[in-house]
Amino acid sequence: MKKINLVILGALGVVGQEMLKVLEERNFQVNNLRLLEHKKFAGTIVRFQGKEYKVEETKENSFDGSDITLIAVGNSISEYYMPFIKKSGSLAIDNSSAFRLKDDVPLIVPEINPEEITNHNGIIANPNCSTIIGLVAINELNKYAHVNRMIVSTYQAVSGAGIEGMAELRKGVIADTNNEPFEPKIFQHEIAFNLIPHIDTPLENGYTKEEMKMFYEGRKILKNDKLMVNCTCVRVPVMRSHSESITIETEKDITIEKARELLKNAPGVKLVDDLENGQYPMPKDSSNQDLIYVGRIRRDISKDGLKSITLWCCGDQIRKGAATNAVQIAELAVEKGIV
């Protein structure tokens, strides 16, 4: 594998740190590594592949000479620095949502649509974490029977709100256990021993931006502008790994046996489906690894025929839902000779 001059923008955040971990695990060949952060973090020492690297303040010329820039920051920072990244000639792989729905920006899950990588204009977008998890789970079913409708409920871990969200759950559990007052700062309400059916900005249609991401991103990734998605997103007191309940409706008949066969051999999927013996996907089991666990596969009994199936899936939001997917895109770019 060619050695790459690599930049990570947002290197000390939860996703940036996981990117470094995944790059090391997968033995990504790095020639030169530059770690960028806010100026208050400049000088922090990070170890990677046996070497020490000093975190630098992000500047407009920080991307010069790089082949790939992995972006692990929010929309506003990504949008500000993107012109400088493109000017430098570095391929931007962006974990923010800023460019996902742009016509000239491919939105890639390597297990689903790797061929789209050649259509980039200097930017490749990493999809939303829940979108990645859900679409990897149903991809082989879609290829076989063509999904035209999805009803999805997501149960999203506090890792989706970053390091601060994870810390707030820990503090809230301690406060609640000791019957002490606690004022949430990251979430709208206390998350410890609670569920919050509200993630991201409310929209006029009664849904939130997070819920509509599955709708719009699903259509783009699956190349189906008629796909209908009804999504409800819930924040749950789980540290990491999102869970999703998904009902799909298909154009073609598909039996439960065929669905299990397809999922058993699906890229990026681990089939865990033995209800009688208590074997099914759970956040604790699916954390700290890259497969999407799928189980509880059953017929949708609210609909006649063989065109509707319900399943349950779990996947690590920080890894496959963010860092690992971005690293896989980088590997694909090297493999295809794009960088």
Structure letter (DSSP) for residue 193: T
Structure letter (DSSP) for residue 106: -
- Rounded distance, CA 75 to CA 307, Å? 39
Strand, coil or helix: 142: helix
Choose, from 129, 231, 233, 313, the residue flagged as catalytic. 129
Choose, from 120, 231, 233, 242, the residue flagged as catalytic. 242
Q: Which of 328, 120, 134 is nearest to 219 (CA)?
A: 134
Known catalytic membership, residue 314: no
Amino acid in the structure at residue 235: R
- Rounded distance, CA 311 to CA 161, Å? 26
Q: Which of 135, 68, 142 is nearest to 108 (CA)?
A: 135
Give the H or E element holding residue 140.
helix 129-145
Q: Which residues contact residue 339 at a Cβ distance below 8 angstroms, ignoring those fewer than 6 apart?
A: 2, 4, 67, 68, 91, 333
As a residue count, the chain comes to 339
Helix-then-strand count for the chain, H and E: 8, 14
C-beta of residue 159 within 8 angstroms of C-beta of residue 243: no
Q: Which residues contact residue 120 at a Cβ distance below 8 angstroms, ignoring those fewer than 6 apart?
A: 91, 104, 105, 106, 338
Give catalytic residue positions.
Answer: 129, 242
